[in-house]
Amino acid sequence: MKTPATSSRQALAWDDLRLILALADAGSLAAAATTLGISHPTVSRRLRDTERRLGCRLIETSAQRTILTPAGQEALALARRMAGEIAELERRLLGRDDGEAGLVRLTAPDAVAEYLLSRVLNKIAKATPGITVELVVSNQPLSLAQREADIALRVTDRPDPALKGRQVAAIGMAVYAHRSLASRADPIAQEPWIGFEAGLACSAPGKWLERHVTPAQIRFSANTLLGAAKAVAQGIGIGVLPCFIGSTLPDVVRLTSPIVDLETGLWLLVHPEIADLPRMRRIREALAAEIGPLRDAIAGRGAAADAYQAMAETA
């Protein structure tokens, strides 16, 4: 009697499903690599390995984004169910730990992390002994429901109603230029501009530029606010920047008052199921306490912006 041959095929793993989830949400191999914290070639290799083991294609790639095949859509549906169940289990288990010490994962976009949080995290760490803050920098909103982060600082006027939180500041935006470009009588009309690529072109600042600046005036385009800020600081062109960034750049001056139509809320958000855990509450309270005195500077109002610049230079 023959003994059935055992299969050496590796079973589908949660990491395989996480890859499909990241590809679907991020929209491209490169963006998925950033989300997962791995390299672009590693994402490609893992995708090929998964497809080879399953014997079917999961993703079709186009010039601009990835498209899931019918098989990929089935895998995505399972990945979303599993991610939700894992997150729910984590929240239930986390809720049993009512201690004040432990880990808190804080997420923020790169501009907020570099130019705002970098000024206050040291004070927050001193005010919350026993708590380790893990900063997750992402320009894509991470899911608090799926425990990709615990607390989020988000730039938005429409926060997720399923989350608990409050607006801690209003972010003002204005036109900034290097001093070398600001010397003309009308630099806004005569000097080149910094534009925005891709997603930022569809944002409020991108649409404002579309209304007020001709394509011929755009000398350089950036896909992040940090990139735009660096271009302005180097004198490549005039740009629209958040006041909490522009006011800290050496040799950069503000050419306009804050643009009313571009003011956006800065929200401090948490999932309601973990909101009352002592360490989550302590970090939120510490963040709000440190950001509160900076509100006028963040909005670009009056002398507060100069005070914020002075604080940044001595930090």
For the chain, which residues make up each domain, given as ranges? 14-93, 97-171+263-314, 173-262
Token pair, residue 249, equals 């750049």
Query: In DSSP terms, which residues pair with 227 in a beta bridge?
Result: none
Please state, rounded to an integer, the average pLDDT across all residues of the chain.
85
Q: What is the CA radius of gyration of the chain?
A: 23
DSSP three-state, residue 265: strand
Give residue 169's identity as a one-letter amino acid code: A
Which residues have CB under 8 Å from 115's CB, separation 6+? 229, 242, 244, 245, 248, 312
Model confidence band, residue 314 (pLDDT cutoffs 50, 70, 90): very low
Query: In DSSP terms, which residues pair with 104 in a beta bridge?
Result: 133
At 184, phi and psi to the nearest 5?
-75, 165
Per the document, the length of the chain is 315
Distance between terminal CA atoms of the chain? 78
Convert the pLDDT of each residue in 46-79 to its tens digit: 888 888 888 888 888 765 677 889 988 998 899 8
Convert the pLDDT of each residue in 222-253 to its tens digit: 988 999 999 999 999 999 999 999 999 999 99
Sort residue 147 into left (φ over 0), alpha (ψ -120 to 50) or beta: left
Task: Yes or no: say if 255 and 238 are a contact pair by the CB < 8 Å rule.
Answer: yes
What is the C-alpha separation between 242 and 244, in angstroms, rounded?
Answer: 5
Task: Kindly tell me if the per-residue pLDDT of 95 is higher than 80.
Answer: no
Architecture of domain 173-262: 3-Layer(aba) Sandwich (3.40)
Task: Yes or no: say if 113 and 135 are a contact pair by the CB < 8 Å rule.
Answer: yes
| The domains spanning 14-93 and 173-262 adopt the same CATH topology | no
Task: Kindly tell me if the per-residue pLDDT of 7 is higher than 80.
Answer: no
Provide the pLDDT for residue 10.
Answer: 66
* Fold (CATH) for 97-171+263-314: D-Maltodextrin-Binding Protein; domain 2 (3.40.190)
Which residues have CB under 8 Å from 199's CB, separation 6+? 223
Model confidence band, residue 93 (pLDDT cutoffs 50, 70, 90): low
Model confidence band, residue 307 (pLDDT cutoffs 50, 70, 90): very low
**Domain 14-93 has what CATH class?**
mainly alpha
Convert the pLDDT of each residue in 120-174 to its tens digit: 999 999 999 999 999 999 888 888 888 889 999 999 999 999 999 999 999 999 9
- Residue that has been written with the tokens 């600082």 in this structure: 153
98/21: higher pLDDT: 21
Sort residue 178 into left (φ over 0), alpha (ψ -120 to 50) or beta: beta
Provide the pLDDT for residue 31.
Answer: 82
Which residues have CB under 8 Å from 104's CB, separation 6+? 131, 132, 133, 134, 150, 151, 279, 280, 283
What is the C-alpha separation between 246 and 241, in angstroms, rounded?
Answer: 6
Convert the pLDDT of each residue in 166-219 to its tens digit: 999 999 999 999 999 987 778 888 889 999 886 776 688 889 998 999 999 999
Provide the pLDDT for residue 312.
Answer: 44
**What percentage of the chain reaches a pLDDT higher than 90?**
45
